[in-house]
Amino acid sequence: MTAGADTFAGRLLSWYDRQGRTFVFRGSRDPYRVWLSEIMLQQTRTESVTPYYERFLARFPDVAALAGADEEEVLRCWQGLGYYSRARNLHRAAQQIVREHGGVFPATAAELRTLPGIGPYTAAAVASIAFGEPVPAMDGNLIRVFARLTDEGEDASRPDVLERLTAAARGLMPPGRPGDFNQALMDLGATVCTPGTPDCAACPVREYCLARLSGEPEARPVLPRKTPPKHVPLNVLMIFSGSRVYMKQRREALLKGMYVFVLSGSAPGQALNALGLPDAECEYRGEAKHVFTHRIWEMRLWAVHIPEIPPALEKDFYTLSQLDSLPIPTAMRAARAYVQKELTE
């Protein structure tokens, strides 16, 4: 069944058919591809995703290939996209699909939510786009659009308010094209009903919109004030010995599994002591900054040259060509560039 032309869904979908955005990851109903694109799009701008998506698919063309890979290789393929827990969860979810579902994707939003890294939004997006399940995919775009359509005046981050907005979306969803309905709303939110001042004159569903009638659509949604990110001062020590440099795999939750230089919140000398290098000297090499969602690393870079590598650290020193095969986060870009220069001169 398709939506009548003169209904909310009919108008939205005919706008989508004419003006929907085209992306390399659109148009496929293969759940693996839909899932991958949705995970990549979670915290990354749409335009930046395409080359990563194509590279990842070329390397891991299906869920079995991803499940069979080792984590380091998956992280390396993700390098530059950030939010690496997404890559680790993709990998774990692929293994779970192979182990528990015989390599066949679960087909409902409820089952998809049992997989690592798949929350209500991603589950609904994959279930609606790949399997045609009529569930609204409430991302920031849909929340904004429905808060405006219904002129919702309560805090949209509250679970009961989100449930109200989801119910409104569900009530308008046509059974025939739920995936397109969700994608049309995402496009509407990204291009017309944008944060700030929406372009209501260009909106295909303006006649249904209560916030437009109230004259202040930009006042919706109501959201709590964001807490500003925390500034974290860090010393980054690049320890060289001959043609090699020290790197260590992180165990902490942030950037877990990625390789970094020595990162220390205390003085450089203390970090060197902790590594058993009390006599090594540090030379200041500049500053760098990396912005995460909730924190900003304010980094001071230091070069350290040691004549001999203590046996306990031997396995953690790498040549320049070995660095190319390690997953190194973008947060290390400035230090990595310095190391590249130092080791090629």
Which residues would be at the binding site for ligand SF4 (CB under 6 A)? 145, 148-149, 192-193, 198, 200, 203, 205-206, 209, 211-212, 217
Identify whether 221 is preceded by a cis peptide bond (ω within 30 of 0): yes
- Shortest Å, Cβ 195 to ligand SF4: 11
d(CA 54, CA 289): 29
Is 38 designated active site?
Answer: yes
Kind of pairing, strands 259-260 and 230-241?
unpaired
CB 232 within 8 A of CB 295: yes
CB 268 within 8 A of CB 261: no
Cα dihedral 209, 7, 17, 108, rounded to 10, equals 90
d(CA 172, CA 187): 17
Residue 258 has what DSSP assignment? -
Q: Which pair of structure tokens corresponds to residue 10?
A: 């009919």
d(CA 49, CA 78): 11
126 vs 156 by CB, closer to ligand SF4? 156
Amino acid at 144: R
CB 261 within 8 A of CB 332: yes
Residue from 38, 100, 111, 345 carrying the catalytic annotation: 38
Q: What are residue 186's phi and psi, to 5 degrees? A: -60, -45
Cα dihedral 154, 158, 160, 161, rounded to 10, equals 40
CB 91 within 8 A of CB 85: no
Q: Is the dihedral of CA 9, 190, 158, 113 positive or negative?
A: positive
| Residue 268 three-state SS | helix
List, in order, residues 6 or more apart from 228 with CB less than 8 Å away.
none
Residues forming the active site: 38
